[in-house]
């Protein structure tokens, strides 16, 4: 990626502000989003996440708001998620995991047993599995550091009773704690814990239909009583600026290449918006005023489209404001904490900009605090410290809570209760964004920087050659669809289904997992889903899909190190904490847990390594496995090996670049380190014989009490290019 214009990266982005006498207005927005897991032609659902997040987060977030009627906030729901929620509630298209769970345990085939042992532990091990002793016991029986799923199945360790308990617990553990509290049948099964009958299991699976069917009505009631403002996102969650004109990506990344078959398709962007408004009005009885564009992605070309669709305001990230103004961003009521206006005359929208630090504290940081009540109070104190003005906190409302103790209930209850009390004192007042903006004109922005909530650019979706290949597939299929549809009458059902499949492929999630910036551990499945949607364009019209759609875009990670490369230079703050999501987002990463299935011992102490550089330092971050982190207190010695690659896979820098001994002692001059929730280390590049742009080989050796040594990676060194000055 390219350096910021006007020297913004070197300018202070934070201005300390004393608390003001007047109240702080808080615009809190929770975003709900899942991609289209459904095969539009067959109805088959390939992943369970709509159903599982439905019985946990979507239902639970509404139930918690019902407890605190004085807390007002916005909830943004992607329309295609609502489509899938309704289908899940109806039970017309159960996903693969539910279908597998409904098979009587005694009737499972060998392949189905193996699959059950693979997929029925898809949950946070510490917060959702081990908190239930029986589920944790089943995890230990299946422990991936002992045997693979196939080996566990073949060994006969799992009886039919064990498998039945597993079938039930996979869904039971996903229910929101408040669902369990309010349902005597589910609560009794949690206490029973084991030796479930088939009737017990079916109760767990059948009860979810009732819970899912309550989700949309709950939010409609919250909106009707004026507590929640429901906002929308384009229908299948596409990156609108890239659909409208992919050259928007070249503003922040002038050197990025565009797909060979690219062409502007603003009509598709408008169709996603039209469908979003229609969906919202049909389900909630009114048109949405507000829009959280997919991934906070905006551009000047998109604003008039939003206005034409009937939206009155939109939200995006604070970096977009800073780059739009071309000046340092003051965190005051005259800077970040105020509404703005943007767009051409007659088609202006109100625009608010999220406080990234506050949003990321909730999304990525507070879950690790031992004192969850203190974390909620800390957030309110920080909001109050912003002074008078509108503070916008916008974040994912579903994925964070599986990392929180108690599913986030203790934190959210204290947060909502604290906000209610702060509002009574006139200190922090939760507001509905649309209502707030309707009474305020806002400052006029003469330009709007094109970008997303991540690094004020579109690198995640257009910067990697795999992203560009995916876009090229999309545009090639779209051109074929236009040709195949020529001459067909309006309202042709087959043609409509073909376009529906194309729109599903335009969603942002597929490119999120392409490239080397993110790794889900299941990237191949997302690649397959993307190509399935494109292939269905042809199948809907009775045509054979072209051969190129059978070729994976994402290279299989089987048998390879699960490493991603750095995306550009960055500077880490050595405090032992992931300060915010953006601090390490440009770093490369190595997932040690990816190889855990083949291990004969316990899981590795270091679960993830992150690495990268600025002009002077190599930065390395270690995230520890939650189940083994206490071993650091007993003493652990880490040797960081780094330097120019040698001729062999393991001969880089045998002399230690840095030695660190827990809890926090660095034993090599020139190195710096900090340990708290994570370990962060900085080593001068010149001490390693390296410079920006050079090739680097990196490894870590961890010596544990008793003399055991863990090498990361086991299979050699992580090889990557250090980011150069133009990255």
Question: Residue 16 pLDDT more than 70?
Answer: no
* 461 in Cβ contact with 242 (< 8 Å): yes
3-class DSSP string for 590-603 = EEHHHHHHHCCCCC
H-type alpha helices, 173-197: 177-182, 184-192
* 266 in Cβ contact with 305 (< 8 Å): yes
H-type alpha helices, 385-455: 409-424, 433-438
What is the per-residue pLDDT for 6? 35
The residue among 409, 302, 385 whose CA lies nearest residue 67 is 409
Q: Which sign does the torsion angle of CA 468, 469, 474, 475 carry? A: positive
Q: Starting at the earlier edge strand, list the strands of the sheet with 588-591.
A: 563-564, 588-591, 606-613, 617-624, 679-684, 672-675
Q: Identify the band that residue 201 occupies on the pLDDT scale cut at 50, 70 and 90.
A: very high
What is the per-residue pLDDT for 725? 78
Question: Residue 488 pLDDT more than 70?
Answer: yes
Q: Which residue has the higher pLDDT, 572 or 71?
A: 71
Say if residue 173 is in the same domain as residue 300: no
Q: Is 86 part of any domain?
A: no
Q: Is 543 part of any domain?
A: yes
Say if residue 477 is in the same domain as residue 362: no
- Residue 476 sits in a domain whose CATH number is 1.20.1430
* 393 in Cβ contact with 26 (< 8 Å): yes
Q: Identify the band that residue 720 occupies on the pLDDT scale cut at 50, 70 and 90.
A: confident
Q: What is the pLDDT of residues 346-405, one digit of tens each?
A: 999 999 999 999 999 999 899 989 999 999 999 999 999 999 999 999 999 999 999 999
Q: Which residue has the higher pLDDT, 465 or 657?
A: 465
**Whole-number Å distance between alpha carbons of 571 and 589:** 16
Q: What is the pLDDT of residues 422-472, one digit of tens each?
A: 999 999 999 999 999 998 889 999 999 999 998 899 988 998 889 999 999
**Whole-number Å distance between alpha carbons of 123 and 399:** 11
Q: Which two tokens stand for residue 409?
A: 């209930």
- Mean pLDDT score, 303-315: 97
Least trusted range by pLDDT, from 53-62, 328-337, 539-548, 643-652 = 643-652
Q: Identify the band that residue 111 occupies on the pLDDT scale cut at 50, 70 and 90.
A: very high
What is the per-residue pLDDT for 9? 38
Question: CA-based angle 522:507:78, to the nearest 5?
Answer: 100
Say if residue 205 is in the same domain as residue 306: no
| Residue range(s) defining the domain that contains residue 204 | 91-214
Say if residue 415 is in the same domain as residue 518: no
What is the number of structural domains in the chain?
Answer: 4
Give all strands (DSSP E) within 478-596, no chain letters.
Answer: 563-564, 588-591
Percent of the chain at pLDDT exceeding 70: 87
Question: Residue 189 pLDDT more than 90?
Answer: yes
- Residue 697 sits in a domain whose CATH number is 2.60.40
Q: Is 58 part of any domain?
A: no
Say if residue 540 is in the same domain as residue 570: no
What is the per-residue pLDDT for 664? 64
- Mean pLDDT score, 220-243: 98
Question: Residue 649 pLDDT more than 50?
Answer: no
- What is the overall mean pLDDT for the chain? 87
Say if residue 242 is in the same domain as residue 351: yes
Say if residue 10 is in the same domain as residue 113: no
Q: Is 704 part of any domain?
A: yes
Question: Residue 593 pLDDT more than 70?
Answer: no
Say if residue 545 is in the same domain as residue 630: no
Integer angstrom CA distances of residue 418 from 373, 388, 414, 523, 686: 10, 18, 6, 40, 50
Question: Residue 579 pLDDT more than 70?
Answer: no
Pairing of strands 637-643, 658-661: antiparallel
What is the per-residue pLDDT for 626? 62
Say if residue 583 is in the same domain as residue 707: yes
Bridge partner residues of 622 (DSSP): 609, 679
Find the length of the chain: 727
Say if residue 348 is in the same domain as residue 401: yes
Say if residue 415 is in the same domain as residue 474: no
DSSP helix/strand/coil, 343: coil
**Whole-number Å distance between alpha carbons of 326 and 4:** 10
Tell me how far apart the 2 most distant CA atoms of the chain are, in Å.
76
- Mean pLDDT score, 89-111: 95
Question: Residue 581 pLDDT more than 80?
Answer: no
What is the per-residue pLDDT for 564? 73
* 481 in Cβ contact with 499 (< 8 Å): yes
* 603 in Cβ contact with 145 (< 8 Å): yes
Q: Which residue has the higher pLDDT, 668 or 303?
A: 303
- Residue 14 sits in a domain whose CATH number is 3.20.110.20
Q: Identify the band that residue 713 occupies on the pLDDT scale cut at 50, 70 and 90.
A: confident
Q: Is 319 part of any domain?
A: yes
Q: Is 228 part of any domain?
A: no
Q: Identify the band that residue 31 occupies on the pLDDT scale cut at 50, 70 and 90.
A: very high
**Whole-number Å distance between alpha carbons of 87 and 94:** 8
Question: Residue 115 pLDDT more than 70?
Answer: yes
Q: Is 74 part of any domain?
A: no
**Whole-number Å distance between alpha carbons of 604 and 635:** 16
Q: What is the pLDDT of residues 531-569, one digit of tens each?
A: 999 999 999 999 999 999 998 998 644 334 456 778 788
Q: Which two tokens stand for residue 97?
A: 């995991």
The secondary element (H helix, E strand) that includes residue 50 is helix 49-53
Question: Residue 661 pLDDT more than 50?
Answer: yes
Say if residue 576 is in the same domain as residue 677: yes
Q: What is the pLDDT of residues 244-253, one digit of tens each?
A: 999 999 998 8
**Whole-number Å distance between alpha carbons of 621 and 589:** 9
- Mean pLDDT score, 335-339: 95
648 burial level (CB within 10 Å; 0-12, 13-18, 19+): exposed
Q: Which residue has the higher pLDDT, 70 or 7?
A: 70
- Mean pLDDT score, 283-287: 97
* 654 in Cβ contact with 699 (< 8 Å): no
* 685 in Cβ contact with 722 (< 8 Å): yes
Of 398, 416, 444, the last residue of a domain is 444
Q: Is 17 part of any domain?
A: yes
* 631 in Cβ contact with 622 (< 8 Å): no
Question: Residue 595 pLDDT more than 70?
Answer: no
What is the per-residue pLDDT for 8? 40
């Amino acid at each position: 990626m390219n350096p910021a214009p006007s020297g913004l990266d070197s300018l202070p982005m934070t201005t300390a502000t004393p608390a003001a006498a007047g109240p702080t207005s808080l615009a809190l927005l929770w975003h709900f989003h899942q991609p289209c897991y459904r095969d539009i032609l067959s109805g088959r659902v390939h992943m369970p996440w709509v159903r599982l997040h439905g019985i946990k987060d979507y239902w639970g977030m509404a139930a918690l708001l019902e407890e605190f009627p004085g807390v007002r906030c916005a909830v943004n729901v992607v329309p295609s998620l609502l489509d899938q929620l309704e289908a899940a509630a109806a039970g017309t298209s159960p996903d693969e995991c539910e279908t597998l769970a409904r098979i009587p345990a005694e009737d499972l085939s060998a392949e189905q047993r193996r699959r059950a042992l693979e997929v029925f532990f898809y949950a946070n091990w510490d917060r959702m599995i081990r908190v239930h002793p029986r589920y944790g016991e089943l995890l230990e029986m299946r422990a991936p550091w002992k045997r693979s799923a196939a080996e566990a199945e073949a060994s006969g360790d799992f009886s039919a009773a064990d498998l039945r308990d597993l079938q039930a617990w996979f869904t039971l553990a996903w229910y929101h704690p408040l669902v369990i509290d309010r349902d005597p049948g589910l609560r009794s099964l949690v206490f029973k814990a084991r030796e479930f009958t088939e009737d017990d299991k079916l109760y767990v699976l059948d009860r979810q239909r009732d819970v899912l069917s309550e989700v949309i009505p709950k939010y409609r009631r919250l909106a009707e009583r004026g507590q929640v403002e429901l906002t929308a996102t384009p229908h299948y969650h596409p990156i609108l600026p890239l659909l409208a004109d992919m050259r928007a990506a070249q503003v922040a990344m002038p050197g990025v290449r565009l797909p060979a078959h690219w062409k502007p398709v603003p009509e598709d962007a408008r169709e996603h918006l039209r469908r979003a408004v229609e969906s919202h009005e049909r389900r909630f009885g009114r048109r949405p005023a507000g829009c959280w564009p997919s991934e906070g992605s905006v551009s000047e070309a998109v604003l008039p489209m939003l206005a034409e669709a009937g939206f009155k305001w939109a939200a995006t990230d604070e970096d977009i404001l800073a780059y739009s103004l071309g000046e340092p961003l003051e965190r005051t009521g005259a800077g970040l904490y105020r509404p703005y206006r943007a767009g051409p005359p007659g088609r202006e929208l109100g625009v608010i900009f999220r406080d990234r630090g506050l949003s990321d504290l909730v999304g990525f940081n507070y879950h690790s605090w031992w004192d969850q009540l203190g974390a909620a109070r800390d957030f309110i104190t920080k909001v109050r410290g912003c002074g008078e003005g509108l503070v916008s906190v916008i974040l994912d409302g579903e994925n964070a809570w599986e990392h929180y103790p108690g599913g986030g209930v203790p934190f959210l209850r204290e947060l909502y209760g604290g906000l209610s009390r702060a509002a009574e004192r006139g200190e922090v007042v939760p507001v509905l964004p649309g209502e707030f903006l309707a009474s305020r004109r806002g400052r006029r922005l003469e330009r709007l920087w094109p970008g997303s909530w991540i690094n004020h650019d579109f690198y995640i979706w257009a910067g990697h050659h795999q992203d560009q290949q995916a876009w090229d597939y999309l545009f090639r299929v779209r051109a074929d669809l236009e040709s195949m549809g020529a001459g067909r009458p309006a309202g042709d059902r087959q043609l409509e289904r073909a376009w529906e499949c194309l729109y599903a492929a335009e969603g942002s999630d597929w490119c999120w997992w392409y490239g080397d910036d993110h790794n889900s551990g299941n990237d191949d499945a997302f690649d397959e889903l993307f190509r399935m949607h494109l292939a269905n364009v042809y199948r809907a019209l009775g045509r054979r899909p072209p051969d190129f759609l059978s070729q994976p875009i994402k290279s299989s990670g089987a048998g390879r190190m699960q490493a991603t490369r750095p995306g550009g230079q960055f500077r880490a703050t050595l405090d032992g904490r992931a300060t915010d999501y953006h601090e390490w987002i440009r770093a490369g990463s190595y997932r040690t847990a990816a190889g855990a299935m083949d291990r004969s011992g316990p899981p590795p102490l270091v679960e993830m390594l992150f690495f990268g550089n600025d002009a002077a330092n190599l930065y390395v971050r270690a995230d520890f496995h939650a189940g083994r982190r206490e071993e650091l207190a007993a003493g652990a010695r880490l040797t960081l090996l780094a330097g120019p690659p040698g001729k062999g896979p393991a001969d880089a820098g045998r002399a230690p670049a840095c030695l660190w001994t827990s809890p926090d002692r660095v034993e090599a001059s020139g190195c710096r380190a900090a340990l708290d929730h994570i370990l962060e280390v900085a080593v001068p590049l010149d001490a390693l014989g390296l410079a920006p742009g050079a090739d680097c080989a990196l490894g870590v050796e961890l010596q544990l009490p008793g003399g055991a040594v863990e090498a990361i990676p086991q299979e050699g060194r992580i090889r990557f290019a250090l980011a150069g000055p133009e990255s």
